[in-house]
Chains A and B, each alone.
Chain A
């Protein structure tokens, strides 16, 4: 009986961690261009960003003065962040075979250019950008958002 309980506990824990890994840790994109001072805040610690670095869901990206960063997400979404920007990849789930999933990015301040990839083309209703007071929805788009 004891053994059985232990096994159940292990199994539950394992399932919990694998679910967590699937959603919280999924590689969402890659850094392609960097200018100036760009940092990634991940699990509470701050890392200096570098070209080719992989970004995970829930990473926060922070750019300094006169700085910028360019990112390609797995679904071919293109993102550029301008100077003095704070933005978080809140949600990214993408099935490359079905070209299905969802994407939520928030931007506290600064500026962003966003060119939709497969998710924006196939599932525009599941792609959005949250600003402090407004929400932006996309319809197959290239656009800029800014918070001053």
Chain B
């Protein structure tokens, strides 16, 4: 008797576990690309395949039947408000140029600092990387020091602009990662730079 009860109980438990409501609908909706480029998604299930290439077009699968559906931007906003708000801003990178042999920004790049500060201030929990570089004029040691000086100079401007020091990671790469490949001892303005990554 006890054995039967135990068997029944386990059979019941098995049923409860295996008959949990299965997901009855799986949906994929393509959103437009920011830059208007073409894109797409491929939806595969049970040996079937559907390709979506138009903005707000969707594939919906109920059971094993796959159907296509067209949404509008407003419908997506209404259906998935949480997803629209929660998406982090796209990471950006800014390249700042310097006066030869010095940690002083060129006037154009100095003007760019305001854009960087504005971008960072609009982000949730931002992380900022500041990486300094030099051209190949001078010794490797001097250039390593100069690249770090450049990065620190930018860090100081960012901190003055209200960005917490804890969010900023600073490094100097010297002449080891040129933007433009040159022979040693060649002056190249494009290689005298600090790359600020914001994410």
Contacts and interface: CB of A to CB of B under 8 A. Distances in A.
Interface of A: 30-33, 35, 51-52, 66-72, 76, 78-83, 108-109, 111-113, 115, 131-148
A134 B124 contact: no
Contacts of B31: 113, 142-144
Interface residues of B, number: 40
B23 A109 contact: yes
Given A32-B124, A33-B124, A147-B23, A68 B45 contact: no
Would you call the interface of chain A mostly helix, strand, loop, or mixed? strand
Interface string B36-52: 01011111111000001
Contact of A76 (B30, B37, B199): B199
Contact of A142 (B23, B32, B80, B199): B32
B31 to A, nearest CB: 4
Contact of B61 (A35, A67, A109, A133): A133
Given A142-B32, A144-B29, A145-B28, A132 B22 contact: yes
Interface string B80-105: 10111111101100000000000000
Contacts of B84: 80, 113
A148 B27 contact: yes
A70 B27 contact: no
A66 B82 CA distance: 8
